[in-house]
A and B are shown apart, each in its own frame.
Chain A
Amino acid sequence: MSSEGGHSWARAFRYTFVRDLRLRIRHGSEWGSPLIFFALIVTLFPLATTPDRTVLVTFAPGILWVAALLAVLLSLDALFREDHDDGTLEQMLLSPVPAWLLVLAKMCAHWVMAGLPLALMSPMLGLMLALPSSVFWVTALSLALGSATLILIGAIGAALTVGVRRGGLLLALMVLPLYIPVLIFGAGVVRLALDGIDVTPYLAILGAMFAAALALSPWASAAALRLAHSG
């Protein structure tokens, strides 16, 4: 019975994951806007500050990370809202599968569509900020890991504000303080790499934050969804 239960849980996870990917791909504009936002912000910085490469490169880690953080924040409002509005969230909460598992599937799909692309775009935008190509990998890795953590943390806020109309600002106010450690260490990884120092300690801390968020967030988000939904 337990193996069969595990099997059907895995199936529920897989179907929810695929369903969310499919929905994102069909709503092309919704999916693309955080990525375009990310690219736009990064593009504007050299125009507004200075084209001087030596100055620009010192700002590059911060600019990339702040822009990525805001892009993730922008995308989070949509994480549960549509499901809440059309009643599929209700069906998820009334499923015999534990809600945290379905929520985790949604977060994974969200990362694939809104977090991973940021990491993949970062070398291109890094080039614009005069980042040397030697740190491209580290930048992408820090953003991939960091965006996953940001999505996990932000999902709790998104779940709490799901019943609130125009909850975007509220979400930002709730979640931003929790984002600060991720931002410090995420941008720190890139800065250390620029200085040619070993990045593994910072990466390890970033990884630890990801692990803690992964353990707590699906459960907390599911509880928050139940709370917000019953109101």
Chain B
Amino acid sequence: MACGPYWTFVVKCRARERRARRDDPARDNERQVGLRVQLEGRQLGCERDERWLFQALEFSIEDGDLCRVEGPNGSGKTSLIKMLTGQLEPSEGAVLWQGKPLPKARAAFHGALVYSGHLSGVKEALTPLENLSWYQAIGIDDDARSVAARWQALDAVGLKGFEDIPVAQLSAGQRRRVGLARLHLLNRPLWILDEPFTAIDREGVAALEHLVAEHCHKGGAAIVTTHHAFSSVAFTRRIGLDGHGGHHVL
């Protein structure tokens, strides 16, 4: 028991160190830089009901890339997105994250990804603020930033003032915005957005376009499927699917 005071001292020092590390503003940038986007498709193929939607698709997405997946309805855009996020096993070929096949690199990959799909991922019985805090918790976001980050994200999607209202009472566009607040909330380099503009008003669309462009400009990467024409943004890559097994990559 003689070492009691010594141990309390050590424990206190460690706690102080940990706090200092957590509050260090440089740390976020460090993490952003530390994670580089390198997502590749190798000979990807998707078969649905004995029909090949696409085959032998080759591409790679890196830092700063803004990639658009285009094609008519039913051409396999969403299937491709699901393969890229690791939700769907490719019928042939593989998706690589930083050179490793997805199932093996799952935790690292999902720690670098924000995904927004057809489903909003928003709990209707919860308030926007409760939804956001859950995203942070399952996204392993920083403790210290969390409260401020939540409010910032709400403000950025124009939902300040609605934070305490259950999502079920909000409009369809506002519900989408709660889901899109993830983009502001989580500090992730790769965004994969499947039809992000559904139900969003004109101003919201412009803001989102701007946000995606800025994210890629800062060194992040984004993959977007949309029928909507981006007015102000140039895509660095395009993956076009024609729905009959053919594709082109630019």
Residues of A that sit less than 8 Å from B by CB: 5, 8-9, 11-12, 14-16, 19, 22-23, 26-27, 85-88, 90-98, 102, 226, 229-230
Contacts and interface: CB of A to CB of B under 8 A. Distances in A.
B87 A229 contact: yes
Interface in B89-138: 89, 107-108, 110-111, 113, 115, 117-126, 130, 133-135, 137-138
A22 B130 contact: yes
A229 B87 CA distance: 7
Contacts of B111: 96
Question: Taking chain A's interface residues, is the majority helix, strand, or loop, or is none over half, making it mixed?
Answer: helix
B140 interface: yes
A19 B126 contact: yes
A230 B89 contact: yes
11 contacts: A11-B143, A12-B137, A22-B125, A26-B125, A86-B120, A86-B122, A86-B124, A87-B118, A88-B123, A95-B138, A96-B139
B88 interface: yes
Interface in B71-90: 82, 85-89
A18 B117 CA distance: 25
Given A16-B138, A94-B110, A87 B86 contact: no
B78 to A, nearest CB: 12
B120 A12 contact: no
B137 A87 contact: no
Contact of B138 (A22, A27, A97): A97
A93 B117 contact: no
A6 to B, nearest CB: 11
Contacts of A97: 138, 140
A109 to B, nearest CB: 13
Question: Taking chain B's interface residues, is the majority helix, strand, or loop, or is none over half, making it mixed?
Answer: loop
Contact of A94 (B85, B122, B179): B85
B159 to A, nearest CB: 18
Interface of B: 82, 85-89, 107-108, 110-111, 113, 115, 117-126, 130, 133-135, 137-140, 143, 166, 179
B119 A87 contact: yes
Given A87-B122, A88-B123, A94-B86, A12 B117 contact: no
Q: Which 9 A-B pairs have the closest CB atoms?
A: A87-B119, A15-B137, A96-B111, A87-B121, A95-B138, A8-B140, A91-B121, A26-B125, A96-B110
A23 B134 contact: no
Given A8-B140, A11-B140, A95-B138, 15 more contacts: A9-B140, A15-B133, A16-B137, A19-B134, A22-B130, A23-B126, A88-B123, A90-B115, A93-B87, A94-B110, A94-B113, A95-B139, A96-B110, A98-B107, A230-B88
Contacts of B125: 22-23, 26-27
Nearest to B142: A8
Given A19-B134, A87-B120, A88-B122, A94 B115 contact: yes
A230 B88 CA distance: 5
A19 B115 contact: no
Contacts of B108: 96
B138 A102 contact: yes
Contact of A92 (B89, B138, B166): B138
A181 to B, nearest CB: 34
A117 B238 CA distance: 55
A127 B88 CA distance: 53
Nearest to A19: B134
A90 B123 contact: no
Nearest to B124: A86
A230 B103 CA distance: 13
A22 B113 contact: no
Nearest to A92: B138
Contacts of B138: 12, 15-16, 91-92, 95, 97, 102
Most buried by A among B111, B119, B179: B119
